[in-house]
């Protein structure tokens, strides 16, 4: 690597040598299906349509007329909030069902954020539903509040199950509040979170057996059954069936385990017919290594090398038990996987020029992208931010790749800036974020930018590229935590 002529002081380096590559030995890979822009609108329209149908059914069922008196008004509001809460609960399930169209359109980090927002909205509406229905019935009953509650639970079909379901959903929601979640191990939180499916299942009978809107209208019955069946079938197909089928079909086994340093491990896996797997550099899978207890937990890792139709490779930092265990994997260990997932791939590209920005372990998908992206000399720039010389990984590979592909590589090393949020290290923080970026990539505004790294650094990097004139739709991001 040559020292860069740019103003970034120590550690800023660039390479540019050699002839364009001929990538030998690669099989013809499965085609990555396009993701049309209208899919986003179609998904949004679907959600709003279901909401519209729910409200329309409530109106047709006399919901508006019932607002005339206090008692019936409360019951009516309770019914509407319960129906919208149910709709949102099912939307929540659909958001996380890994439906290819939805996953490819939004990406899992955005889906997780939306799932969280929809979840809390649905939970709040469920509380309104319980309170309003109970008060509404109590207002029109001679028995008072407590007798009405007991009557509900004991005499209405499915209500006891609904109470149990509600308790579970309350537990899941409380553990998802940020403060509570931060205190739990990820695996414990995730396991608890899966109980939401049980809570949802337990709430169904009361809707079917006592819900006026379910029982009185054929259209309503068909609508709700369709939504429930679509949600259940989606989960079964894309969260269970497809991962199982792909894992069995491709029979992935660990081929090689290599230490990049004492905190980072690379694992190469070999499988059958991998050229049929529609995966691209920059994407990730959920991995399960069948090496003993603990295989039930899946961890997401991006590919750290471009898929070649024969092998898949990941590189992981040892953060907790799951990632540290990778270092002791033995060749021959079977691997189950879910995926590929993620939007950080060639398919989202809209421009010839690409800037890849990575910090820390976020270099893994960028390493794969640098290898795979279709590029002419000088079209791709990789900017790799590392905390220290010791913490830099894959640098030899990056240099060799940048050389072969005639890409530009900048490795910017140094402790993170403490005085302000910045993508630059402390020793370069006197420079403006945009100014420094423009010095390395003068025409940055004409690039598609891919960003992956630690959360704070990614925010600073995103801000810098946006302020440098890159339109938001040309900034592509993969978060390693959500």
Measured from the CB of residue 453, what is the shortest distance to ligand FAD in angstroms?
11
Measured from the CB of residue 263, what is the shortest distance to ligand FAD in angstroms?
10
Residue nearest ligand FAD (C-beta atom): 320
Measured from the CB of residue 71, what is the shortest distance to ligand FAD in angstroms?
47
End-to-end distance of the chain based on CA atoms, in angstroms?
Answer: 35
Token pair in block for residue 199: 């809570």
Give 213 or 478: the residue with its C-beta nearer to ligand FAD: 478
Distance of CA 196 to the CA centre of its chain: 18
> CA-CA distance, 242 to 226, in Å (whole number)?
22
Measured from the CB of residue 378, what is the shortest distance to ligand FAD in angstroms?
27
> CA-CA distance, 154 to 400, in Å (whole number)?
72
Token pair in block for residue 237: 């197909």
Give 220 or 316: the residue with its C-beta nearer to ligand FAD: 316
Give 40 or 185: the residue with its C-beta nearer to ligand FAD: 185
Residues of the shown chain interacting with ligand FAD in the complex, contacts defined by CB under 6 A: 185-187, 284, 298-302, 314-317, 319-323, 361, 364, 478, 480-481
Give 442 or 455: the residue with its C-beta nearer to ligand FAD: 455
Residues 6 or more apart from 460 whose CB is under 8 A from it?
A: 421, 422, 423, 433
Measured from the CB of residue 321, what is the shortest distance to ligand FAD in angstroms?
5
CA distances from 254 to 289, 293, 337, 338, 438 (A): 9, 17, 12, 16, 42
Measured from the CB of residue 92, what is the shortest distance to ligand FAD in angstroms?
17
Give 255 or 379: the residue with its C-beta nearer to ligand FAD: 255
> CA-CA distance, 453 to 356, in Å (whole number)?
11
Pairing of strands 334-341, 284-289: antiparallel
Residue of 286, 297, 241, 234 lying closest to 97 (CA atoms): 234
Give 201 or 391: the residue with its C-beta nearer to ligand FAD: 391
């Amino acid at each position: 690597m040559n020292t860069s002529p740019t103003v970034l002081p120590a550690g800023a380096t660039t390479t540019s040598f050699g002839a364009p590559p001929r990538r030998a030995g690669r099989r013809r890979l499965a085609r990555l299906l396009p993701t049309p822009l209208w899919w986003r609108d179609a998904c949004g329209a679907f959600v709003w349509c279901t909401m519209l149908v729910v409200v329309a059914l409530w109106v047709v069922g006399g919901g508006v007329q019932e607002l005339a008196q206090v008692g019936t008004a409360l019951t009516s509001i309770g019914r509407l909030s319960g129906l919208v809460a149910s709709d949102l609960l099912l939307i929540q399930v659909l958001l996380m069902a890994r439906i290819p169209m939805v996953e490819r359109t939004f990406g899992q980090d955005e889906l997780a954020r939306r799932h969280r927002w929809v979840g809390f909205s649905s939970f709040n509406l469920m509380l309104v539903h319980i309170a309003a229905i109970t008060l509404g019935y109590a207002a029109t009953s001679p028995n008072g509040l407590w007798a009405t509650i007991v009557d509900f639970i004991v005499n209405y079909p499915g209500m006891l199950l609904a109470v149990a379901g509600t308790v579970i959903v309350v537990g899941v929601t409380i553990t998802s509040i940020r403060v509570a979640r931060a205190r739990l191990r990820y695996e414990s939180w995730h396991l608890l979170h899966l109980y939401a499916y049980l809570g949802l299942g337990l709430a169904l009978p009361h809707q079917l057996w006592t819900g006026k809107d379910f029982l009185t209208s054929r259209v309503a019955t068909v609508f709700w059954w369709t939504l429930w069946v679509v949600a259940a079938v989606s989960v079964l197909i894309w969260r269970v069936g497809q991962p199982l089928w792909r894992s069995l079909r491709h029979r992935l086994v660990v081929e090689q385990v290599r230490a990049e340093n004492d905190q980072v491990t690379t694992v190469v896996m070999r499988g059958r017919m991998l050229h049929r797997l529609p995966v691209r550099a920059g994407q990730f899978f959920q991995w399960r290594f069948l090496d003993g207890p603990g295989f039930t937990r899946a961890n997401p890792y991006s590919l750290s090398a471009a898929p070649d139709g024969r092998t898949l490779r990941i590189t992981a930092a040892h953060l907790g038990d799951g990632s540290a265990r990778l270092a002791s994997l033995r060749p021959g260990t079977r691997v189950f996987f879910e995926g590929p997932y993620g939007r950080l791939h060639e398919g989202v590209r809209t421009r010839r020029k690409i800037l890849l920005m990575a910090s820390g372990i976020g270099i893994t998908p960028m390493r794969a992208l640098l290898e795979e992206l279709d590029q002419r000399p000088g079209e791709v720039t990789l900017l790799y931010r590392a905390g220290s010389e010791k913490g830099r990984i894959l640098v030899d590979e990056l240099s060799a790749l940048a050389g072969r592909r005639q890409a530009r590589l900048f490795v910017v090393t140094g402790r993170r800036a403490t005085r302000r949020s910045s993508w630059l290290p402390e020793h370069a923080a006197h420079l403006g974020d945009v100014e420094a970026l423009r010095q390395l990539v003068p025409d940055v505004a004409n690039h598609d930018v891919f960003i992956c790294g630690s959360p704070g650094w990614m925010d600073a990097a995103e801000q810098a590229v946006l302020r440098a004139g890159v339109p938001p739709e040309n900034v592509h991001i993969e978060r390693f935590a959500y």
